[in-house]
Amino acid sequence: MTTPARPSPSAFRQRFAAAERLVGTFIKTPTPHAIEILGDLGFDFVVLDEEHAPFDRESIDIALLAARASGTAGIVRVAEASAARILSALDCGATGVLVPHVATVEIARGIAAASRYRGGTRGYSGSPRAGRYGASPVWKTVEAADAQTTVIAMIEDPQAVENIEAIVRVDGVDGFFIGRGDLTVAFGAPSNTAPVIQSAVERITGAARAAGKPVCVMVNSAQEANGFQRLGASAFIVSSDQGFMRRAAAQALEDFAGPQA
């Protein structure tokens, strides 16, 4: 029996736009090993967390090499919505960027421009991995990058929710991640399932549907993902490398604490 070929990581943007069901996880530990394991298992993407984990450019570079080697799309959650952070991640060969705190149309336009050559402001160099270390001709590099780079805006502020109908219309922003954790704290809600958060989720997903753009959300389980999928979400981040390790380690410890033979 022949195992079906996995889609190339370079097809991630196309698959995301087509609202395919995609499953990924956060990477919090700046080493390549967990990425290789997750890619080998068949995860569609991993998100390297520069914002909340100890990643620097060198560790991002190595982590993205591991993503390529294991056949999974490497997305970088950049530390901030700056052109320099975005360029650094993309030059290292990131499939795309997940950009925090995109609360206004101006910020959305800025991250879209920073991620594109044509019609944008992305600085060009053929020397990094993105240019195959000088092996790819200029316009071939430009065409491939503009076609494949995925830009995902994180909607995680009350201001972003208020501006969402305009933000989703910004050209060059491919989709949206709903940051329920930050929204919960910002709204002072008791949990990420509180009515005020659910209302925000429904407004964000409704605006994205109207604009024909996909939504990504972090979930605890496939069952929770099914609920979000009914609202229009199609890409799901499940736990993290550390979360998976903690869960498995806790289960092993619990097993050994049980009755002995």
Catalytic positions are: 52
Q: Which two tokens stand for residue 45?
A: 């993407």
CA distance from start to end of the chain? 41
Q: Which two tokens stand for residue 109?
A: 């336009």
Q: Which two tokens stand for residue 166?
A: 């305009």
Nearest-angstrom CA–CA distance, 97 and 135? 24
Nearest-angstrom CA–CA distance, 86 and 61? 13
Q: Which helix (H) or strand (E) is 49 found in, with range?
A: strand 45-49
Nearest-angstrom CA–CA distance, 48 and 160? 23
3-class SS at 27? strand
